[in-house]
Structure 1
Amino acid sequence: MQEFLLFKFYGLQVWQYLGIVAFLAGGFIAYKILGWIFNFALIKIFSRTKYKEILETYIKTVYKLSSLIVVIYIIYDNIGFLKLGRAFKKTATIVYELIIPLLIFGILYKLTYLISDIIRHLASKTNTKFDKSFASLIRRTLKVIIFIIAGIYLLNYLKIDITPVIAGVSIGGLAVALAAQETLKNFFGSITIYLDRPFEVGDWIISPGFEGTVEEIGLRSTRIRSFNNSLITVPNGKIIDAVIDNMGKRQYRRFLQFLRISYETPTPVIEDFIAGIKSIAEEHIYIVKDNIQVSLHEFGEYSINIRINLFFDVPDYLTELQLRQELMEKVLQLAENLNIKFEKPNRFQS
């Protein structure tokens, strides 16, 4: 039996092959046991928190990677027992020093989504779309940081000396600074937007050069959907320097119209028409009651002009459009009932 175990096959003895199989089998069993322990422990710890449902989504990935890290460490620490030689030990060391950090970075990368989802959960209680966008910004920023750290570690592991690179940057510092100026300006512009909150996703904004609805606020730029359905991408550095008229932040939405009626309209009918419009506005549940203005405005060249100025108390533009239509239909119906004729603007008489 001893002779069989010492028999060499492709450079290794039989007992060494059996040891490798035992290590792999034991590692697999340990991985399953540790996975169960980590899973049970994490669920126990976080089951009492208010983020239980969010955490459960990521617990599986975290406990699997954590278990794998522990198993790889145990195998690497004890593999010398098999006396597999210096070449194998060197290869195992390279693999170990490369895989363990990658697994750790994998956990950190997954945690960026966890942090983002927790922020989104908190934002859902604030009823603001801006905080939801902030969660995406945090996730992207953390990703960039993780990739930078991973890149530095990889360069260091491959023994690539970054001193010449740093020296080159210092020599060409002016060129690099000029090239990075816009990028840094846009990045800090995004930070300013999130801190100052001049607008949020879904707001209708107007500024010299662009107008539309904000769709996304990114690290470098903000994307705006124009009313022509085109997508406008504006660097954040330019947005923070621009004058922004945020129509989405209006407390009320103004309705201003001028009705041009014929000079042939009798005065009593005009009075009934104005009173009727006021009555329609006062009965409307979404019109601000203390600021209804309906009155004769001026004697135009070809018409008597009535001015209507009031405000809708509604949350969005689509609702505003619907209520404007309803109001205008009622005014038209009133005009029809009173036999009032509207004059075209700038009508030329023969």
Structure 2
Amino acid sequence: MKRVGYGLLLMWALLPLWSQATTPTLKNVMEQDTPAEEAASKPAPAAPPTVADEHERGSPRSSMEGLLHAMRYGDFEQAGHYLDTRNLPAAVAALDSAELARQLKVVLDRTLWVDLQSMSNSKHGLTEDGLPSYRDLVGKIPLKRRQVSVYMQRVPRGDGESIWKVSNATLSYIPELYRIHGDGPIGEFLSQHLPVFEVMGLQSWQLVALLLFLLIAYLISWPLFWLTNTLIGRRGEHTQHLQKFIRGPLRLLLLVLVIRQTFPLVRPSIEAQAFAEGRTLLIIAFIWVAVAGLELTRQHLILVLKEKGKDQGALLMRPLFTVAKTLVILTGLLLWLENLGFKATTILAGLGIGGLAVALAAQKSVENLIGAITLYMSTPVRVGNFCRFGSQMGVVEEIGLRYTRIRTLDRTVIHISNATFVDLQLENFSEREKIRFSPTIHLRYDTQASQLRPLMDAITEALQAHDKVDEAPVRVRFHKFGPQALQLNILSYITTTDFPVYLEVAEVLNLTILTLLEQHKVSLADATQRRLSHQQTALTSES
């Protein structure tokens, strides 16, 4: 009976524990019997339970999050609640928990990026990480030739519950880590005399140190740049663009390189290092140097082309170098995005699809631009030239990037697209070094041979005697027997490219020839008779 009584008493004592242990099982059984519609309407199961704690130290993630939050706002007294200060070495235990938290913040900021999402949010921590059940690994910090592991450790709170804190095994290395990764003597001194603030992960003393390095570099480089600009300026006014290039982009590039070399000396945080890895200032400096270098090259080429009389090519330099500058800026932007972690190939693929659509829409504009480049480079015509294009003639007034503007003989204006104009047969009259004088004289059939020979010799002598007629060729030939006239052909060249001058010389020569015809008593064929003869000949050939 006593055994039965003891058994009943034991069952009565274990009944609450048994009911707690079996309740989830019974609940699961009930949920399995619940219809699908009711199960779907139930809320998702809650996250793994954590220990209720006033400082949110119930799980590794919540404890680390609370620690980082207190550090971010400089509340190191609060941050001390997240540190396991038990059983520390004497040198470390002598430090106040707030000071220890401050040193830990500096070390973490400069050596370890804490990924809260990868940490466990359960009071049991990570159970399959190969570590003891009371420890979770946050990361590792380099210390000389080895690595110091940063652990979150489950420790007793004193009321039967366990909470998570930064392990004392990690805290024992904090002073040594701070000596290596901390502010150092200069940083400690400056931080005590400067207001406390941060910009992009850099503390106030670090920003002041970088500005001092920049000022020193500027003062050291100033005499060198001044001397260089002075020597270059003595070569003439045409060097002003080179002087601007040295004073501006080249000096900026030098200062940025100095900042990059001195940047590790201020012991920047991981956030500042990540910003520096983007090479933002360096890329800006290189883009400015490249763009200014292209502008310098453009100015030099314009001077060279103008000295050679190629004004058309000088006009083409601006749009060409504008395209080159745009490509430089786009390349720098893609490099910057690549450094920030974006995939430039993906961006280029997107730009390629968009560029294809734009290219299809702007096909005619691109053709006209290429036509303008062809006109500028090959220069079949220039602005001010008189030319024949197709079946029309006129003076070229402007060659734009899309159209060519031509003033016709009727004083009207024609705009022809460059793509069309460059494909036409262009005859440039302004490129002639002389103008041909080649009239055909029709003489009557009753002209005697004794009259014709002296006439031809007299016309030849008259042409050779004129100072505006080129020495060769000068030909006067009895060409053929026409239907109703004898044809006398004259070939010579007047040494001028000015068309009004040519008309004056041609008029003098024509009057001279007419005078010679009168002197040799040779008559011109009647034009009316020759026209009728041509018509009769045409009718005869058709019949």
Q: TM-score range by the shorter chain?
A: 0.5 to 0.7
- Contact 2:245–2:292 under 8 Å retained in 1: yes
- Contact 2:372–2:402 under 8 Å retained in 1: yes
User: CA offset at residue 275 of structure 1?
Assistant: 9.6
Partner residue in 2 for 1:265? none
Distance in 2 separating the partners of 1:70 and 1:175: 41
Partner residue in 2 for 1:199? 380
Q: Within 5 A, what are the aligned runs for 1:213-224?
A: 213-214=395-396, 222-224=404-406
Partner residue in 1 for 2:390? 208
- Contact 1:288–1:311 under 8 Å retained in 2: yes
1:8 maps to a residue whose letter is: P
Distance in 1 separating the partners of 2:321 and 2:279: 28
* Gap change, CA 1:174 and 1:80, over 3 Å in 2: closer
Among 507, 514, 528, the alignment partner of 1:328 is 507
Gaps of 5+ in 1: 261-272, 299-304, 339-344
> Which structure is larger by alpha-carbon Rg, 1 or 2?
2
* Gap change, CA 1:212 and 1:8, over 3 Å in 2: same
* Gap change, CA 1:225 and 1:25, over 3 Å in 2: farther
Distance in 1 separating the partners of 2:507 and 2:285: 69
Partner residue in 1 for 2:302? 117
* Gap change, CA 1:284 and 1:217, over 3 Å in 2: same
Can you list the C-alpha shifts for 1:192-224, whole angstroms capped at 9, x where unaligned? Answer: 5567x4714254321226533345656666554
User: CA offset at residue 34 of structure 1?
Assistant: 3.6
2:261 maps to a residue whose letter is: D
Distance in 1 separating the partners of 2:333 and 2:395: 42
Among 193, 207, 213, the alignment partner of 1:6 is 193
Partner residue in 2 for 1:244? 426
Work out the number of aligned pairs and report it. 326
* Gap change, CA 1:164 and 1:8, over 3 Å in 2: closer
Question: Is structure 2 residue 254 aligned with structure 1 residue 73?
Answer: no
* Gap change, CA 1:109 and 1:306, over 3 Å in 2: same
SS of 2:468's equivalent in the other structure is: coil
Can you list the C-alpha shifts for 1:17-66, whole angstroms capped at 9, x where unaligned? Answer: 764663454344244234235447878xxx9xxxx769734321332231
CA RMSD of aligned residues (A): 5.8
Partner residue in 2 for 1:254? 436
Among 491, 494, 497, the alignment partner of 1:312 is 494
Distance in 2 separating the partners of 1:40 and 1:149: 30
Partner residue in 2 for 1:341? none
Give aligned-pair identity as a percent.
Answer: 21
Question: Is structure 2 residue 279 aligned with structure 1 residue 106?
Answer: no
SS of 1:62's equivalent in the other structure is: helix
Distance in 1 separating the partners of 2:323 and 2:464: 56
User: CA offset at residue 253 of structure 1?
Assistant: 0.9
User: CA offset at residue 312 of structure 1?
Assistant: 1.4
1:116 maps to a residue whose letter is: L
TM-score by length of 2: 0.43
Distance in 1 separating the partners of 2:283 and 2:396: 43
* Gap change, CA 1:226 and 1:28, over 3 Å in 2: farther
- Contact 1:38–1:67 under 8 Å retained in 2: no
* Gap change, CA 1:35 and 1:212, over 3 Å in 2: farther
Which of structures 1 and 2 has the larger relative contact order (alpha carbons within 8 angstroms, sep 6+)?
1
* Gap change, CA 1:198 and 1:151, over 3 Å in 2: closer
Question: Is structure 2 residue 329 aligned with structure 1 residue 145?
Answer: no
- Contact 1:112–1:139 under 8 Å retained in 2: no
User: CA offset at residue 70 of structure 1?
Assistant: 0.3
User: CA offset at residue 242 of structure 1?
Assistant: 2.0
Distance in 2 separating the partners of 1:142 and 1:114: 10
Partner residue in 2 for 1:29? 219
User: CA offset at residue 84 of structure 1?
Assistant: 7.5
User: CA offset at residue 98 of structure 1?
Assistant: 4.3
